[in-house]
Amino acid sequence: MKLEGKAAIVTGAATGIGLAIAQRLAHDGAAVVLADVADAEPRAAELRASGARAVALRTDVADEASVSDMVERTMKEFGRIDILVNNAAIAATIQLRPFEDITVAEWRRMQDVNAMGPFLCIRAVSPHMRAQKTGRIVNITSGTAFKGAPFMLDYVASKGALMTMTRALAKELGPAFVTVNAVSPGYTLSEGNLANEAFRETYREAAIATRALPRDGWPADIVGAVAFLASDDASFISGQILAVDGGSVYH
Ligand SMILES: NC(=O)c1ccc[n+]([C@@H]2O[C@H](COP(=O)([O-])OP(=O)(O)OC[C@H]3O[C@@H](n4cnc5c(N)ncnc54)[C@H](O)[C@@H]3O)[C@@H](O)[C@H]2O)c1
């Protein structure tokens, strides 16, 4: 119960990697907000049934008012915010295509959700973390930004932005003893990715072929790194990007 007494927000927690992270943080003792544009209430109810403190909030991370409502309601419910996991993204629904086919509106929406979303969430929690003089922010980035994966330029650019934000914000929030780190998954078989046939056919075997550990990656493979970075054990680690991809990229 390493996270006993802590309160966490996990965005994009209705499914996939975000849900697995919320479940793990709750298992480790944290009170958890599952924030998502989709309905996360059934998942929050399961966590409550297992004895955890969990609340689902309908949140669009790209909407400033929605994010500030998320933070206000978390404070009302749990009285503190110790951990923010920026996981929500346009991710498993990606349609692979040449960059010339990406419209300006699609590009903007991708950056709004995947890069501005984390900015809005961090900006909204930072007064509370600064006041507490402690906090853990974990951004979920992507190995595609290390590898230069083709046919999803808007996505890769958004994750590259989140990696550089991780480093810069570690410096800005460090004086308040708030850590900012990133976990960078490789291709992971979330429910959404399993359902995206074109994505699966292009990446599943290809990803395994690049790994030191030649097997599929699952949401359960990602959560330990996030739980560690969210814990007191990681209090002297900040600005780091930890690849959790079976040993595919070194940086
Ligand atoms: N699965 C992978 O192969 C993989 C690899 C590298 C990085 N990642 C990253 O891990 C994270 C989770 O991946 P996944 O496969 O579980 O994704 P997913 O697409 O299955 O789930 C994303 C979740 O985010 C939510 N979401 C989308 N837009 C939102 C918004 N505007 N506001 C709030 N919630 C929103 C969705 O409703 C969904 O519940 C993402 O950040 C993704 O980029 C995934």
Q: What is the pLDDT of residue 1?
A: 84
Ligand 1 atom 30 nearest Cα: 60
Q: List, chain by chain if needed, residues with CB within 6 Å of any ligand 1 atom.
A: 11-12, 14-18, 36-38, 59-62, 87-93, 113, 117, 140, 142-143, 185, 187-188, 190, 192-193
Please tell me the distance between residue 128's alpha carbon and the centre of ligand 1 in angstroms: 25
Give me the DSSP letters along 113-154.
IIIIHHHHHHHHHHHHHHHHT-EEEEEE--THHHHT-SS-HH
Residue from 24, 58, 114, 188 to probe ligand 1 pocket by mutation (most atoms less than 8 Å from CB): 188
Average pLDDT of the chain, as a whole number = 97
Instruction: Provide the pLDDT for residue 133.
Output: 97
Which atom of ligand 1 lies closest to the CA of 88? Answer: 24
Ligand 1: centre distance to CA 35 (Å): 12
Confidence at residue 193, expressed as pLDDT on a 0 to 100 scale: 95
Domain ranges of the chain: 7-243
Residue 60 CA to ligand 1 center (angstroms) comes to 13
| Tens-digit pLDDT profile for residues 154-180 | 999 999 999 999 999 999 999 999 999
Can you give the pLDDT at residue 250? 82
Instruction: Please enumerate, as own/partner, the contacts of 156-161 that have beta carbons within 8 Å and a separation of 24 or more.
Output: 157/110, 157/111, 158/89, 158/110, 158/111, 158/113, 158/114, 158/115, 159/114, 161/111, 161/114, 161/115
Distance from Cα 175 to the centre of ligand 1, integer Å: 30
DSSP-derived 3-state class of residue 38: coil
Residue 88, helix vs strand vs coil: coil
Closest atom of ligand 1 relative to the 91 alpha carbon: 19
Query: 7-243 belongs to which CATH class?
Result: alpha beta
Residue of 36, 159, 194 to mutate, ligand 1, most atoms within 8 A of C-beta: 36
Q: Is the pLDDT of residue 96 over 90?
A: yes
Q: Which residue has the tokens 């600064």?
A: 130
pLDDT tens per residue across span 42-72: 999 999 999 999 999 999 999 999 999 999 9
Active-site residue identified among 155, 187, 203, 250: 155
Q: Is the pLDDT of residue 18 over 80?
A: yes
Instruction: Please give the pLDDT value at position 172.
Output: 98
